[in-house]
A and B are shown apart, each in its own frame.
Chain A
Amino acid sequence: MKQKNWKELPHAGTILEAGNADTYKTGSWRTFKPRWIEENCIQCLFCWIYCPDTAVVVKDEKMTGFDYDHCKGCGVCAMECPGKKGNKAIVMEEEGK
């Protein structure tokens, strides 16, 4: 994307378009990536509640996976995941491995 010059900036840097953070991809900030293991998931949605972004994709009240364009890899979901019988439904894996 071509960067704007100073004459093209909106007045006072105000963001006039509501909700445009959605178009700002932050997935590349990640060093660790959450992996969902569906057979261990009890659909408690703790991951969805605790995610500080909106990177847990829920459809029809069910966890369906991650939005990797916005997940920054903080690992809170994996930490909070109770899993099933001691087996986590979310694990963090190093990027690029």
Chain B
Amino acid sequence: MAVATKIVAVDGNTAVAEALRQLNPDVMPAYPITPSTGIMQSFTSFVSNGKVDTEVILVESEHSAMSAAIGASAAGGRVATATSSQGMALMWEMLHIASGYRLPILMALVNRALSAPLNIHGDHSDGMGMRDCGWIQLFSENAQEAYDNTIMAYRIAEHKDVRLPIAVNMDGFIISHSIESMQFIADDDVKKFAGEYIAMDPLLDLDHPKSIGALVLPDYYMEHKRVQHEAMLHVKKVVADVSAEFAKLFGRKYELFESYRLDDAEVVIVALNSAAGTIKDEVDRYREKGVKAGLLKPRLFRPFPYEEVGAALKNAKAVCVMDRADSFGGFGPLHMEIASALYPHRQGPVLFNKIYGLGGRDLMPADVDQVIDETIEVAKTGKVKLAKEYITVRN
């Protein structure tokens, strides 16, 4: 390990703001929204105190924030923004343009429920709503992972084989506003790790005038989209390489997904973000009782590592996918990915889906126990009562 790191007690927003201070982007357009507001609050104080060179642009909506991010990135700058929920929803149209223009913009997305009913608390409906926008999506269990993912984000997004925008997700309030102990990396080491940004075809290169965003009709549109698909195919390897370099330098190891006591697991839970912390505790308790329980926690959601996840789950007897978002009339979005990953292993585990935690509804250890108990039952009988059902909901 190259460097000693400082142990601090901070909330998730402060951790991500600290990462952004260390990365020192050129431009940061934003329209602060709960629960991501803390990121911009901390960051603007860095600007006022001269700790970063960043130009913060406070705009009149999130649509404008993403538009300004696109303009600044196309001009040749390293750009970041932060948002949540309705804010991300209002950016949605522009998210496709950021990815179509291949601009490596970084978004800190503090996950929050979408209206209606109006709610400010954490769930993944915003993150899942940008699933098809062509952005790389990383999910983070706690403040440490959100910080580390943010430190790694530009290296992934700006890689010459990738050049795509990236969103780092963490759970609203549960992580963004809870204080945990974690480690910061020294400023110089972050600077060295992140490296200098080299823009491709920047508009501010005035000696080489150029046009971006030209109209493309049916004769070429599909070719452009095929290129975007190709860029996404390169992401897995880049994430693995950057994470390996990060582990070597800073000691914290990240994979495309986390396998927790998964090797010989027969009863497996799949879940994203903060719920994984609670589930790990309960997996430990069931292991002590002799149940072969395990957890798979995806980190890279777009592109989704289907082959690797399929291989990791194929020997389980039953898998319950827990979704903190619903695709009404369909399975939860994470469940759909796991089902796709397991399709080549049709003799593999029995699969079912639980929707939990919408609008910030707590997921308590006893709730996880209920899910594990049902998964044990499904493993025994091979039968699922309801392929998809809500938990922790009053009946």
Contacts and interface: CB of A to CB of B under 8 A. Distances in A.
A13 B211 CA distance: 9
Contacts of B102: 11-12
A12 B230 CA distance: 12
Nearest to B216: A13
A15 B101 CA distance: 12
B201 A6 contact: no
B223 interface: yes
A72 to B, nearest CB: 14
A12 B163 contact: yes
Contacts of A15: 210-212, 214
Interface in B203-245: 208-212, 214, 216, 219-220, 222-224, 226-227, 230
B163 A3 contact: no
Nearest to B222: A6
A3 B216 CA distance: 13
Contacts of B224: 6, 9, 13
Contacts of B101: 12-13
Interface string A1-34: 0011111010111111110000000000000000
Contact of B212 (A4, A5, A12, A18): A12
A93 to B, nearest CB: 28
A88 B201 CA distance: 48
A11 B210 contact: no
Contact of A4 (B209, B211, B223, B230): B223
A3 B201 CA distance: 23
Interface residues on B, range: 20 to 34
Contacts, number: 49
Contact of B211 (A5, A6, A7, A14): A14
B200 interface: yes
B230 A14 contact: no
B216 A11 contact: no
Interface in A53-84: none
A74 B287 CA distance: 76
B214 A16 contact: no
Nearest to A3: B219
A5 B222 CA distance: 10
Contact of B200 (A5, A7, A12): A12
A14 B208 CA distance: 12
B219 A14 contact: no
B86 to A, nearest CB: 29
A11 B223 contact: no
A77 to B, nearest CB: 24
A16 B201 contact: yes
Interface in B184-215: 200-201, 208-212, 214
A12 B223 CA distance: 11
B201 A12 contact: yes
A18 B211 CA distance: 7
Contacts of B163: 11-12
Contacts of B219: 3
Given A12-B101, A12-B163, A16-B210, A5 B201 contact: no
A14 B223 contact: no
Contacts of B200: 11-12
Given A11-B163, A12-B101, A12-B163, A6 B212 contact: no
Nearest to A19: B209
22 contacts: A3-B220, A4-B220, A4-B223, A6-B222, A6-B223, A6-B226, A9-B227, A12-B101, A12-B102, A12-B201, A13-B101, A13-B212, A13-B214, A13-B216, A14-B201, A14-B210, A14-B211, A14-B212, A15-B211, A15-B212, A18-B210, A18-B211
Given A6-B226, A6-B230, A12-B100, 16 more contacts: A4-B223, A5-B223, A6-B222, A9-B223, A9-B224, A11-B163, A11-B201, A12-B163, A13-B100, A13-B214, A14-B212, A15-B210, A16-B208, A16-B210, A17-B210, A18-B211
Interface of A: 3-7, 9, 11-18
A-B CB proximity, top 4 nearest: A12-B102, A6-B223, A15-B211, A6-B226
